[in-house]
Amino acid sequence: MSSSRSSSPAMQQMLALMALFLLLSGGVHAQVVPAVISFGDSTIDVGNNNYLPGAVFKANYAPYGENFRRHRATGRFSDGKIVTDITAETLGFEGYAPPYLSPLASGKNLLTGANFGSAASSYSDDTAAMYDAITLSQQLKYYKEYRSKLAAVAGRRQARTILAEALYVVSTGTGDFIQNYYHNASLSARYDVDRYCDLLVGIFSGFADELYRLGARRIGVTTMPPLGCLPATIRLYGKGRSRTGCLPRLNRDAETFNRKLNATVGALVRRRAGLKVAVFDVYTPLRDLSERPAAQGFAEARRTCCRTGNAGTRVYLCDPVTAAGMCRNASSYVYFDGVHPSEAANLVIAESLVSAGIDLLT
């Protein structure tokens, strides 16, 4: 990584906040929050789908994980760290919450959080069910189970404190469009984009309300990414590209969702006393990386680092048959596969979330 990708004002601001926190706490490895609890799709899946025999989307094979610890695939959809890994490190955690379905998600490992993410999950349970992923409704049930397990480990009073002070991350929704709406004629006939976005943000609002009822007070939710800039969607729906190479129509769909998400978050905060909700803008940094990669030190934003498949769901993922075809330097590519950023791009995206994250921590 070049220094230009690791010393932005946003990252300096977060490092300053961390330094102040550590100074006041007197700890070298103090955590800014006691736990990180994550819900969502492949953007935060750290291996839950490895434990689902029927799951369509898995990242348990090379070249996934090529630049991660011990150079092995863990279930993360990238060559290395994903955004939640980077967030955990920035917040002072020495390790990452294991996938909740893993045997490692037990005992003292529960004290620092849980990860319920499942590739191909989305706001709509119908989308997740199409690909045998963990639905958002089921992730919430697992969270309730986690609360009971945490109380058994930490005691009820300490568990309540951990849950109230934890950072909750919700990162999902892309699949509702690229794995469902754009392929589902009956769904797109029943809902235009505006009404479909209303449906999805309504699901998020209900989900956040339930988290609040169960003790959550700090929630960060990601925006929709630039759907029209993803290599897989360009490959599938390439007609009508702009001079930047992205698909304006699909990006407008994402922008519609993001406007409605921001409005919904504002209403949530006004309605729920003591609740903080931050919108993590993924759209802007990933669009900028996609349209002007050289400005951030990247060489390629249209081609993927790994070779993706040719048909069906394989256009989204690295092709396990041609794993040897991975690029030589993943850090020069914005996208590792057809949908997911490289670790280098994830670092840029994580930096852009810092200012919103600070609001949750103060």
Whether residue 183 lies in the annotated active site: no
Question: SS3 of 300, please?
Answer: strand
Active-site residue among 102, 121, 331, 340?
340
Instruction: Find out whether 355 and 10 touch, Cβ atoms under 8 Å.
Output: yes
Distance CA 101, CA 88 (A): 20
**Nearest of 224, 251, 253, 228 to residue 238 by alpha carbon:** 228
Question: SS3 of 47, please?
Answer: coil
Instruction: Find out whether 57 and 157 touch, Cβ atoms under 8 Å.
Output: no
Count Cβ neighbours within 10 Å for each residue of 4-31 and write b for 16 or more, e otherwise. Answer: ebeebebbeebeebbeebbeeeeeeeeb
Distance CA 84, CA 86 (A): 5
Whether residue 42 lies in the annotated active site: yes
Whether residue 337 lies in the annotated active site: yes
Active-site residue among 42, 102, 118, 352?
42
Active-site residue among 118, 253, 337, 342?
337
Distance CA 147, CA 216 (A): 11
**Nearest of 144, 160, 266 to residue 205 by alpha carbon:** 266
Cα separations in angstroms, 12 against 8, 129, 352: 6, 42, 12
Question: SS3 of 222, please?
Answer: strand
Instruction: Find out whether 276 and 265 touch, Cβ atoms under 8 Å.
Output: no
The gap between the terminal CA atoms of the chain, to the nearest Å, is 30
Active site amino acids: 42, 337, 340
